[in-house]
């Protein structure tokens, strides 16, 4: 098991190095001059000498290789640079906004697990019934519905017409717990509904495959109830495809959070990234790309470890 973990960790480290280089190169190739945009936004005008001094202060002078090593050496030490738009430390901006994005992620994951897994299980046990057809249609709708349309439709229905939930905005949990729950219900549901639909379909397909195996028929012949068969024999073999879905859709949830945070005016990392892209705020964009890539790699690494834990044959390959 240890050799398997070390091997996967080494592969993830190689991919991370490649991603860091590509993230820096992609930002450098963006059209326009971020420094000039920032100066124009604040109404300041600088001569050539002044521009060079400011470029040096932001660490964007010299060749691309010099800039890369300067940025990377500071980044790994926790110095993520200054935002060209606000002048704040980029790391401080992340730390301020990370709780909002984490709450959105975990809230969406809770919605997905609470809805997707039970729906998939019921559909598998009621295969071919009207209930199975209905639940399959609901899960397919969750997969196909665009987050933007779903968010706007729910806002119009629940916030504008029924006035049950707030239209947008964010209230920290430490300020008002109940208002925090109300403000996050719609965003977490929107970001979790797609994953719930995917989970439901995979849970149904995986359970149907496992329930057709010989060892399940043997368990039934011994007089075990369907509940005992499900929790004692069927769940663990059917978990590998489900773990795969959770890992693959994490990147989709990350991209979806950008849209959801903008629509619901949530002060999270996704909205910060969108603002930085429009403002050509290079330090913020680079930090977002690296952090997002690290998160995806970590999730994929944990998925690989979960594979080995669920099926010992995988770590022997």
Q: Do residues 317 and 59 touch, judged by C-beta distance below 8 A?
A: no
Between 221 and 171, whose confidence is greater?
Answer: 171
Within a 10 A sphere around the Cβ of 206, how many other Cβ atoms?
Answer: 22
Distances (CA, A) of 236 to 210, 214, 224: 10, 16, 17
Higher pLDDT, 58 or 101: 101
Give residue 138's Cα distance to chain centre: 23
Question: pLDDT category, 32, cuts 50, 70, 90?
Answer: low
Q: What is the mean pLDDT of residues 289-301?
A: 82
CA distance 303 to 212: 26
Give the mean model confidence (pLDDT) for residues 55-84. 77
Question: 231-247 pLDDT, tens per residue?
Answer: 676 777 777 777 777 77
User: Residue 80: how many CA atoms within 13 Å on its side-chain side?
Assistant: 22
Residue 175 has φ and ψ, to the nearest 5°, of: -85, -50
**Range with top average pLDDT, 3-7, 66-70, 140-144, 308-312:** 140-144
pTM as predicted:
0.79
User: Over 60: is that where the pLDDT of 270 sits?
Assistant: yes
pLDDT for res 185: 92
pLDDT confidence band for 41 (50 / 70 / 90) = very low
**Residue-wise pLDDT tens digits, 135-177:** 989 888 888 888 889 899 999 999 899 888 888 889 888 888 9
Identify which has the larger pLDDT, 64 or 17.
Answer: 17
CATH number of this structure's domain 97-279: 1.10.3720.10
**pLDDT tens digits, residue range 180-210?**
999 999 999 998 888 888 888 888 888 888 7
Q: What is the pLDDT of residue 155?
A: 92
Domain ranges of the chain: 2-76, 97-279
Length of the chain: 317
Q: What is the mean pLDDT of the chain?
A: 80
Please state, for a pLDDT cut of 70, what percent of the chain lies above it: 81
Distance CA 143, CA 196 (A): 8
Which class for 31: exposed (0-12), middle (13-18), buried (19 or more C-beta within 10 A)?
A: exposed
């Amino acid at each position: 098991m240890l050799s398997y973990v070390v091997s996967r960790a080494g592969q993830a480290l190689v991919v991370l190095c490649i991603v860091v280089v590509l993230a820096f190169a992609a930002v450098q190739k963006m059209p326009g001059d971020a420094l000039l945009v920032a100066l124009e936004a604040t109404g300041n005008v600088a001569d050539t000498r002044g521009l060079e001094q400011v470029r040096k202060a932001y660490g964007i002078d010299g060749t691309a290789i010099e800039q890369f090593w300067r940025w990377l050496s500071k980044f790994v030490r926790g110095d993520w640079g200054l935002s060209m738009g606000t002048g704040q430390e980029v790391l401080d901006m992340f730390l301020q906004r990370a709780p909002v994005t984490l709450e959105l992620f975990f809230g969406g994951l809770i919605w997905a697990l609470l809805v997707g897994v039970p729906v998939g299980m019921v559909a598998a046990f009621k295969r071919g019934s009207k209930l199975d057809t209905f639940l399959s249609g609901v899960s397919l709708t969750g997969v196909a519905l665009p987050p933007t349309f779903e968010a706007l439709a729910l806002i119009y229905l629940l916030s504008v017409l029924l006035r049950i939930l707030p239209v947008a905005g964010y209230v920290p949990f430490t300020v008002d717990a109940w208002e925090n729950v109300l403000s996050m219900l719609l965003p977490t549901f929107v970001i979790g509904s797609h994953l719930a639909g995917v989970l439901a379909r995979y849970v149904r397909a995986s359970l149907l495959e496992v329930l057709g195996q010989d060892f399940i028929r043997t368990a039934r012949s011994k007089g075990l109830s369907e509940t005992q068969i499900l929790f004692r024999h069927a769940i663990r073999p059917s978990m590998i495809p489900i773990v795969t879905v959770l890992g693959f859709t994490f990147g989709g949830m990350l991209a979806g959070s950008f849209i959801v945070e903008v629509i619901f005016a949530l002060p999270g990392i996704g909205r910060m990234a969108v603002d930085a892209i429009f403002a050509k705020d290079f330090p913020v964009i680079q930090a977002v790309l690296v952090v997002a890539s690290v998160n995806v790699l970590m999730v994929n690494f944990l998925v690989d470890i979960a594979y080995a834990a669920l099926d010992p044959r995988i770590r022997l390959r």
